[in-house]
Structure 1
Amino acid sequence: MQLNHYLLIRHTPNGRKYPYLDCWGLVIEFYRRELGTELDECTDFSIKDGYEKEKNSFREIPPDETAFGDVIAFFRHGMIFHVAVFLGKGEMLHTGLNRHARAEKVRSLQFAEIRFFRHASR
């Protein structure tokens, strides 16, 4: 994996064209490039819409079973608001509003519940 490819991503709301991606767009790019899996781009949809369209393709896994490429989903009040990709060694790759893509330690975002998911292709 070439991390520099992802660090060029510039957060763009509902972005689906590299390097202008939102957090779901980053997951789509990562799955296509690193895992050879095409996810629904959900153009012009929010992260919630993308999650709803793809959720049957993913199964929830316990945090201690996470592996490279698993999706980390962040929820508030039962609603998804952010996703990231698990890189291993406790790190995630993500992008967010007014922030470029970055790799950092998996941590809870304020008042968030974290859940981990693995795609059916893995």
Structure 2
Amino acid sequence: MTADDSFGRLYDDDYPAYTMGRAAAMLGTTQGFLRAIGEVGLITPLRSAGGHRRYSRYQLRIAARARELVDQGTPIESACRIVILEDQLEEAQRVNAEYRRATGSAGPADATAAA
């Protein structure tokens, strides 16, 4: 692996670059919060060779959204479920948009305007 390959990982949203302590500090939360959302199944951090949790930038974005909801008074289990559903909806919308581009078909707004 070259130095350029290692540096490129810093831009990879899925690369587990952050320790639990660093992730908690970046989110302004506790390590216990990160453990709790892991126990509920919202995120599953990778483990280092020494068994320490490591988080990616994508996981930190998901955790930040859960923290927003919890800070607004949503129970942690509910907040995690909401974030999972939001993520699934975003992915479905992305797949639908790709399908429409590939097939040249109109989206829902275009279909009603054409009728």
What TM-score results when the alignment is normalised by the length of structure 2? 0.24
From the two aligned structures, give the one with the greater strand fraction: 1
Answer with 1 or 2: which has the greater Rg. Answer: 2
What TM-score results when the alignment is normalised by the length of structure 1? 0.23
Higher RCO, 1 vs 2 (CA within 8 Å, ≥6 residues apart): 1
